[in-house]
Amino acid sequence: MAVLLAGGAGYIGSHTAIEMIEAGMEVVVVDNFYNSDPEAIRRVEEITGRKIALYEADVADKEAMRRVFAEQSIDTVVHFAGMKAVGESVEKPVMYYRNNLDSTLTLLEVMKEYDCNRFIFSSSATVYGEPDSLPLSEAAPKKSVNCPYGWTKWMIEQILTDAVAADDKLSVVLLRYFNPVGAHKSGRIGEDPKGIPNNLFPFIAQVAVGRRDHLNLFGNDYPTPDGTCIRDYIHVVDLAKGHVAAARYAAEHKGCEIINLGTGNGYSVLEMIHAFEEATGIPIPYEIAPRRAGDLPVSYACADKAEKLLGWKAELTLTDMCRDTWNWQSKNPNGYREEEV
Ligand code: UD1
């Protein structure tokens, strides 16, 4: 039996493929390479020494997905196949709703046809909206979010919750990611955003490698000790191992479980810049810029439920996150492409 990684060539999917293979699981990848590169899967094969069944297809394409399920014995689906840029989602909301919701609905329909009942979903801490208290526990209410991307996560969680309520064979785990950063220790795979990075760590890495001349730090007048926003950064390899644990959990349980994947520690933007400089010895020039619309001052997880239910907790440190990000970026200054873009 195999785990289907929908969107498995992307940043989190490719790291999860490695951890699952190393845990003895078989994986099948479907990806349309909209925001990913087939080279990532080639490198996962190189790292693990295993050939991966790879289908180039849109996860929303029902006929293509039926072919995958007909050819492979799939017992668990992990759904990473979503568009994820906050700003782009504000400009192209219909594209975001169409893509992110359709892929989920198609997966649920085809899974039912093939009696596949385990679904792990890449959700986001963004569904918590503005927290009433910290750390954020799974018991906190979902609130209004700030962009169509966030609403797609919010709505897909609701769709999956309703699907479970109507089908007692289904087992769903909603994984709410905090801020994934870092890369595999080999430096062969990592985060490779197309165009100008939206997120902090890929931007810092591109400044370090000389692709950008400075970082714009969005706001230093927040109500935090140093005035910059605080987030719960989690190493992508820890996050990937959380999916291994979630897949095992889904095999043993029915129903729908919400689980945070974070470390429980918050670091400010300035602390992240300084940690990166310290771990790599490379200065990161930055300029204070206006606040970015929609940013929350502070967000970090209560990570207790993951430990209790999954027996999982994040183990890698901030230094690991910085060092591994730099190892990937310095060995692959243009990501998976050979030429600068
Ligand atoms: C963002 C999204 C979130 C999404 C996640 C993963 C917003 C409001 N939230 O999380 O919904 O799930 O990405 O895609 O966009 N920063 C800078 N300069 C930069 C980039 C970021 O100062 O060039 C700061 C931000 O203001 C923030 C922190 O770094 O305080 C982290 O930003 P980012 O990496 O984009 O993550 P989130 O905003 O937490």
Handedness of CA 279, 281, 282, 287 (dihedral sign): positive
Helix, coil or strand: residue 21? helix
pLDDT for residue 341 is more than 70:
no
Q: Which atom of ligand 1 is nearest to the CA of 269?
A: 29
Distance CA(199)–CA(178), nearest Å, equals 12
| 84 Cα nearest atom in ligand 1 | 14
- Tens of pLDDT, residue by residue over 222-268, are 999 999 999 999 999 999 999 999 999 999 999 999 999 999 999 99
In this structure, the strands spanning 74-79 and 2-6 are parallel
Nearest CA to ligand 1 atom 36: 199
Ligand 1 atom 34: residue of nearest CA:
199
Cβ neighbours, 10 Å, residue 272: 24
Q: Which two tokens stand for residue 213?
A: 């001349």
The ligand 1 atom nearest the CA atom of 215: 23
Q: How close is the Cα of 123 to the center of ligand 1, in Å?
A: 15
Taking CA atoms, 136 is separated from 79, 160, 260, 297, in Å, by 23, 21, 9, 13
Mutate to test the pocket of ligand 1, among 80, 86, 146 (most ligand atoms within 8 A of CB): 86
Distance, CA of 329 to CA of 40 (rounded, Å):
14
53 bridge partner residues: 28
Q: Give yes or no for a contact between 264 and 232, defined as CB atoms under 8 angstroms apart.
A: yes
Q: What is the mean pLDDT of residues 155-184?
A: 98
Pocket test for ligand 1, best of 269, 273, 299 (most atoms within 8 A of CB): 269
Which residue out of 55, 96, 149, 222 is catalytically annotated?
149
Contact 264, 135 (CB under 8 A): yes
d(C-alpha 111, C-alpha 277), whole Å: 46
> How does pLDDT run across 66-105, given as a tens digit for each residue?
999 999 999 999 999 999 999 999 999 999 999 999 999 9
Which residue's alpha carbon is at the smallest distance from atom 13 of ligand 1? 199
pLDDT value for 340: 56
Helices 93-113, 148-166: crossing angle, 10 deg rounding: 20
Q: Rounded CA gap, 68 and 126, in Å? A: 31
Kind of pairing between the strands at 230-231 and 267-268: antiparallel
Q: 308 CA to middle of ligand 1, Å?
A: 29
What pLDDT, in 10s, does the model give residues 284-319? 999 999 999 999 999 999 999 999 999 999 999 999
Q: Is 149 a catalytic residue?
A: yes
Q: Which atom of ligand 1 is least distant from the CA of 87?
A: 15
In degrees, to the nearest 5, what angle opens at C-alpha 236 toward C-alphas 182 and 335?
A: 50
- Ligand 1, atom 21, lies closest to the CA of 200
Please name which of 83, 79, 84 lies closest in space to residue 107, comparing C-alpha atoms: 79
CA of 267 to the centre of ligand 1 (A): 13
Mean per-residue pLDDT of the chain = 97
Ligand 1 closest atom vs CA 180: 6
Residues with CB under 6 A from ligand 1: 84, 86, 124, 126, 150, 179, 198-200, 203, 215-218, 229, 231, 269, 292, 294-295
Residues ≥6 apart with Cβ < 8 Å to 48: 17, 18, 21, 22
- Using N-to-C axis directions, what is the helix angle for 318-331 and 200-208, rounded to 10°? 50
Q: Which atom of ligand 1 is nearest to the CA of 86?
A: 15
115 contacts 61 by C-beta, under 8 angstroms: no
- Residue 281 vs residues 208, 274, 323, 325: alpha-carbon distances, Å: 10, 10, 10, 13
Residue whose CA is at the smallest distance from ligand 1 atom 25:
218
Whether omega for the bond prior to residue 135 falls within 30 degrees of 0, making it cis, is yes
Residue with CA nearest ligand 1 atom 38: 295
- Taking CA atoms only, the protein residue closest to ligand 1 atom 1 is 199
Region 8-18: what's the mean pLDDT?
98
Q: Tell me the C-alpha to C-alpha distance, in Å, between residue 51 and each of 39, 77, 321.
A: 13, 19, 28
What is the Å distance from ligand 1's center to 198 Cα?
7
Q: Closest Cα partner for 187 from 205, 211, 207?
A: 205
322-338 average pLDDT score: 95
Instruction: Return the structure tokens found at 263.
Output: 């470390």
pLDDT for the residue 337? 86
